[in-house]
Structure 1
């Protein structure tokens, strides 16, 4: 991956629906050249997929929280989280806790219900998000 590929990735992370012609203009390459580079990065797994990023507040999910979780039943807990609609991220971590999950819900009451449902799997600490000045929208290559 060279500097041009990195520039292409930065643009695509901000505007995934950009045309190859406009992407080429943005990075000073021809449309065929930029198309070939994007295709190569897709084939090599650098670009995994394209998706719509939904704003939780716009779909009535304004409450966001991170939950540090300790369980002795890791596989069972992970299976539960995969099925739980409100769990949008699940990470296996090191340290005192073995999972970090992110939950988005309609209200504090529904968050409380979600946390109560997790209780049968182990112990948790909840961190409610107040604001997000920097969001994980791009990965700098």
Structure 2
């Protein structure tokens, strides 16, 4: 990965809908050259996918929380999380708790309902998000030549 690849990755993290022509202009390459570079980054698995970001508040999801969760039946707990629409992320972690969840719900009342439903799988600690001064940062690639 060189500096041009790094510039491509940083630009696409800001705006994944850039045309290859626009992206090429930003990094100083022709459209075919930048298209080939992006394809190679995809083939190497460096670019996994392209996504849009939805504003939770605009779709009436006003409560965001992280749950530290401890369960003894990981498979059933993971299935519960996969089936529940409020669970955005589930991470296996080390320590006293074995999972970290990001839950986005309509209200604290629906968050409470989720917590109540999850107790059959184990116990948790809930951390309610008050604000997010740094919501998403770019991953900055390390250049290796």
Is 1:110 matched up with 2:142?
A: no
TM-score by length of 1: 0.97
Shift of 1:136: 2.6
Shift of 1:32: 1.3
Partner of 2:86: 86
- What is the rounded CA distance, in whole Å, between the counterparts of 1:18 and 1:49 in structure 2? 14
Cα RMSD for the two superposed structures: 0.9
Gaps of 5+ in 2: none
- What is the rounded CA distance, in whole Å, between the counterparts of 1:78 and 1:6 in structure 2? 35
Q: Does the aligned pair in 2 maintain the 1:77–1:121 contact within 8 Å?
A: yes
Length, aligned pairs only: 141
- What is the rounded CA distance, in whole Å, between the counterparts of 1:59 and 1:24 in structure 2? 35
Gaps of 5+ in 1: none
Q: Does the aligned pair in 2 maintain the 1:63–1:111 contact within 8 Å?
A: yes
SS of alignment partner, residue 136 of structure 2: coil
TM-score by length of 2: 0.94
- What is the rounded CA distance, in whole Å, between the counterparts of 2:82 and 2:138 in structure 1? 24
Shift of 1:26: 1.0
Shift of 1:72: 0.5
Q: Does the aligned pair in 2 maintain the 1:13–1:137 contact within 8 Å?
A: no
| CA displacement 1:51-109 (0-9 Å, x = unmatched) | 22111111100110000000101111011100100000000000010000000001110
